[in-house]
Amino acid sequence: MENNPKEENIKVLYEDNHLIAVYKPAGTLVQGDKSGDISMIEEVKMYIKNKYNKPGNVFLGLIHRLDRNVDGIVLFAKTSKGASRLSEQFREHSVEKIYHAWVSGIVKEKNKTLINFLRHNENQNYTEVFDEEVRDSDRAELSYEFIESDGDFSLLKIKLKTGRQHQIRSQLSHIGHPIVGDTKYGSTIKSGDQRIFLTETSLSFNTATTDERKTVTIEIPKKTW
């Protein structure tokens, strides 16, 4: 079966002349890979091309990514100016990203900052966590807040201070609370749709031209396993 981008799959959460924020479902790629599956980039380009009757190739700048099995908000740039301004904000850590995750176990400390050193193995697509700096590692910091429990599971609100690959997944697993469905990092629960229960629920940024602060939000993930 041929894979073709479908405009109707796009859920636009915010759009202006320079930026567009969309909802990425779990299981969908942000950017194409060797699997050949349709990515968000292709679908958003199709949406822009059809909405504005644009001829030829459509510019779309990829500013940040989410893992395939994570759902949440993805921000793209529709212009080179938008790409430049937002990339600068990400470098300066002025973009605030908030996640919610269901994890196994009841966390003992209800508010905590985690600081570790991470080393990502590209061949295995796996991130190792260390309490002290080791060769080729990067400092990683996040803070979490306990929201509620349901059975033997906790819902956490997470703020990233750094943006390392598999950071939330690996750091929470390191303290004994793997994200539900994340079998790569120790979860014993396998999700039927291959998702993990980690959602980027809020993204705050300044617009590309006026520096007006915008916050895009989606619903907190529900316990469905």
In this prediction, residue 33 has a pLDDT band, given cuts at 50, 70 and 90, of confident
Give mean pLDDT, residues 47-68.
Answer: 92
Is the domain spanning 7-95+204-217 CATH 2.60.120.10? The answer is no
Domain boundaries, the chain: 7-95+204-217, 99-198
Q: What is the CATH number of domain 99-198?
A: 3.30.2350.10
Give the pLDDT score at 9: 73
Give the pLDDT score at 1: 41
Give the pLDDT score at 130: 98
Residue 174 near residue 116, CB atoms below 8 Å:
yes
For the stretch 147-204, pLDDT in tens is 999 999 999 999 999 989 999 999 999 999 999 999 999 999 988 777 999 999 999 9
For the stretch 74-128, pLDDT in tens is 999 999 999 999 999 999 989 999 999 999 999 999 999 999 999 999 999 999 9
Mean of the per-residue pLDDT values of the chain: 93
Give the pLDDT score at 86: 95
pTM of the model: 0.92
Give the pLDDT score at 4: 59
Can you give the three-state secondary structure of the chain, one letter per residue? CCCCCCHHHCCEEEECCCEEEEEECCCCECCCCCCCCCEHHHHHHHHHHHHCCCCCCCCCEECCCCCCCCEEEEEEECCHHHHHHHHHHHHCCCCEEEEEEEEECCCCCCEEEEEEEEEEECCCCEEEEECCCCCCCEEEEEEEEEEEEECCEEEEEEEECCCCCCHHHHHHHHCCCCECCCHHHCCCCCCCCCCCCEEEEEEEEECCCCCCEEEEECCCCCCCC
